Amino acid sequence: MSESDIYETVRLDLMRYATALVGRNTAEDAVSTVVTRVLARPGGLGGLRDPKQYLMRSILNEVRTRRRQTTRQPVVRVGILDGAVQPVEDHVIDVIERLPSQQRAAAFLVFYEEYTPSEAAKLMGCRPGTVRRYLHLARTKLREELDG
């Protein structure tokens, strides 16, 4: 499989993931930075055992680096459900924006991408228990804020 075929296979997943983490305005830049960096390496995308896993972990790392360097960017003000764009209430997005990036990443991978906590942990570079903890904290925060 060529590098362009690999990229086309995972491109939408990478964009959705990055958008959930940093918002639409910054997501494309984060994805292109990561993909360009990987393509410049010997072997490129074709040299990776699991390109999607590697790229998603790299995007999370890129987001963390950018967060340390800049202020937070808002996440998308719409949700995607079965390929259709659904509006999301602003107060829900505001609560989600305040979640730390690790909690947002865990929630996106488990609830939207339907990874198990173990699979999400591999992508995030942590243990499954850590992902479960992030999910618990995110749900608790959302429940507190939205029920109040």
Q: Per residue in 11-23, pLDDT tens?
A: 999 999 998 888 8
CA distance 66 to 95: 21
Alpha carbons within 13 angstroms on the beta-carbon side of residue 43 total 6
Q: Is residue 79 part of a domain?
A: no
Range from 23-37, 76-90, 115-129, 134-148 carrying the lowest mean pLDDT: 76-90
Confidence category of residue 71, pLDDT binned at 50, 70, 90? low
Confidence category of residue 76, pLDDT binned at 50, 70, 90? very low
What is the domain count for the chain? 2
CA distance 72 to 118: 28
DSSP designation for 42:
T
Confidence category of residue 119, pLDDT binned at 50, 70, 90? very high
Q: Is residue 80 part of a domain?
A: no
Q: Answer positive or negative: Cα dihedral of 123, 127, 128, 131.
A: negative
Question: 106 lies in which domain range?
Answer: 88-148
Domain end (from 21, 51, 74): 74
Q: Do 30 and 59 touch, CB atoms closer than 8 A?
A: yes
Q: Is residue 83 part of a domain?
A: no
The whole-number pLDDT of residue 90 equals 65
Residues 61 and 16 in one domain: yes
- Using one digit for the tens of pLDDT, what is the confidence trace for 35-53? 999 989 888 888 888 999 9
Tokens standing for residue 82: 């079965």
Domain at 142, CATH number = 1.10.10.10
Per-residue pLDDT for 116 more than 90?
A: yes
Helix-strand-coil split of the chain, %, nearest 5: 70, 5, 20
Domain end (from 74, 100, 115): 74
Residues 55 and 92 in one domain: no
Residues 39 and 106 in one domain: no
